[in-house]
């Protein structure tokens, strides 16, 4: 006789309960970047909106930055580390292929024996992590999930590459996701366009080292105009689909938190979506740069800390990047 598999006993819904962030202490102005490339502060600002970015010091590792951000998120949520049932870390700049950094972070936090794994979804990674966390909570395999986006992109920046030298920053952002009696994380619109996989990527694959000395350490490169057009035109459609899936209109939003890739992309998305003036738009890129998986939670934390957003606000978040991959959803802010 065949048995019947029982379903999980999870919460009816999930929501973000707390956020935290960590920005390295070293602030790098455009002037420092200009020592390496033939450009100008005006050009960098006009092309990207970036004025400064944070670069990690020797002791500000992926793990240490994650622990700092996670500690703040747990405190913000009022949840002890022992109650975390899963740790999901999105990063492309943890250079040890295995083990994943998530297990070390879970251990260092004192989280017991949670599920722990890394994901590689670049700038969409935080959205991917939120979606996985929501599924675990509703399914019942975890009561609380810690989602982290963390990067040390300064390690992968070619300071002689005029197209990317000014873009990237370091940092970590964290969110605690837990059970809710009402929907707090909407349906996710996510996907990939693998035919464009080579528009953003690593210059040298790790296995190249098997063939002999490599002239330069692997760095990030991108086809800027192709990525810009894709983000502006295609991601506006995805953002609208996320609003539709959540059953709300742009006028009902309080906050818009897109991936902090480029100020012109952010402004174009806001314009295409016809966001009303009352919608607060995250522009954290000005002083943080592009931190890939960390950019959305870092921007979210800053908006809440500065009063640009408040607890209970409805926010549209969308991440997009290397793959090319994307993820958008509507969340209630903690």
Half-sphere exposure of 213 (CA within 13 A, CB side): 1
Q: What is the DSSP code string of 24-58?
A: -SEEEEHHHHTTTSS--HHHHHHHH--SEEEE--T
Q: Is 290 a catalytic residue?
A: yes
And the tokens for 260?
């902090």
Q: CA end-to-end span of the chain, whole Å? A: 48
| DSSP codes of every residue in 6-24 | PPP---SEEEEEEEEEE--
Measured CA to CA, the distance from residue 126 to residue 174 in angstroms comes to 9
Q: Which of 54, 94, 262, 290 is catalytic?
A: 290
* Percentages (nearest 5) of helix, strand, coil residues in the chain: 40, 25, 35
Question: Which residue of the set 30, 54, 94, 259 is catalytic?
Answer: 259
Count Cβ atoms within 10 A of the Cβ of residue 194 and give its class: 0-12 exposed, 13-18 middle, 19 or more buried.
exposed
The sign of the CA dihedral 196, 200, 203, 205 is negative
* Catalytically annotated residue among 54, 94, 123, 262: 123
Q: Is 240 helix (H, G, I), strand (E, B) or coil?
A: helix
Report, as residue numbers or ranges, the catalytic residues: 123, 259, 290
């Amino acid at each position: 006789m065949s048995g019947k598999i029982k379903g999980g006993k999870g919460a009816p819904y999930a929501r973000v309960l707390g956020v935290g962030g960590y920005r390295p202490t070293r602030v790098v102005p455009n002037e420092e970047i200009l020592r390496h490339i033939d450009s100008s502060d005006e050009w960098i600002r006009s092309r990207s909106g970036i004025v400064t970015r944070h670069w990690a010091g020797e002791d500000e590792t992926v793990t240490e930055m994650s622990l700092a951000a996670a500690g703040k998120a747990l405190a913000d949520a009022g949840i002890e580390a022992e109650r975390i049932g899963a740790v999901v870390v999105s990063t492309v700049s943890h250079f040890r292929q295995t083990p994943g950094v998530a297990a070390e972070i879970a251990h260092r936090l004192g989280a017991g024996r949670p599920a722990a794994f890394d994901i590689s979804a670049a700038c969409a990674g935080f959205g991917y992590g939120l979606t996985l966390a929501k599924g675990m909570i509703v399914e019942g395999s975890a009561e609380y999930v810690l989602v982290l986006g963390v990067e040390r992109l300064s390690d992968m920046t070619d300071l002689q590459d005029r197209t990317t030298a000014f873009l990237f920053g370091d940092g970590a952002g964290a969110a605690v996701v837990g059970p809710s009696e009402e929907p707090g994380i909407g349906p996710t619109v996510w996907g990939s366009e693998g035919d464009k996989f080579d528009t953003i990527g690593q210059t040298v694959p790790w296995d190249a080292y098997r063939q002999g000395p490599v002239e330069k350490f692997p760095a990030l490169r991108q086809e800027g105009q192709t990525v810009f057009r894709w983000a502006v035109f295609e991601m506006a459609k995805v953002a609208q689909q996320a609003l539709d899936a959540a059953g709300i209109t742009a006028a009902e939003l309080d906050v818009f938190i897109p991936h902090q890739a480029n100020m012109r992309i952010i402004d174009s998305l806001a314009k295409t979506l016809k966001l009303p003036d009352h919608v607060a738009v995250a522009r954290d890129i000005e002083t943080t740069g592009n931190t890939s998986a960390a950019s959305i939670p870092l921007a979210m934390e800053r908006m809440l800390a500065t009063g640009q957003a408040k607890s209970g606000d409805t926010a549209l978040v969308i991440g997009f990047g290397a793959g090319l991959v994307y993820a958008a959803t509507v969340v209630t802010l903690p």
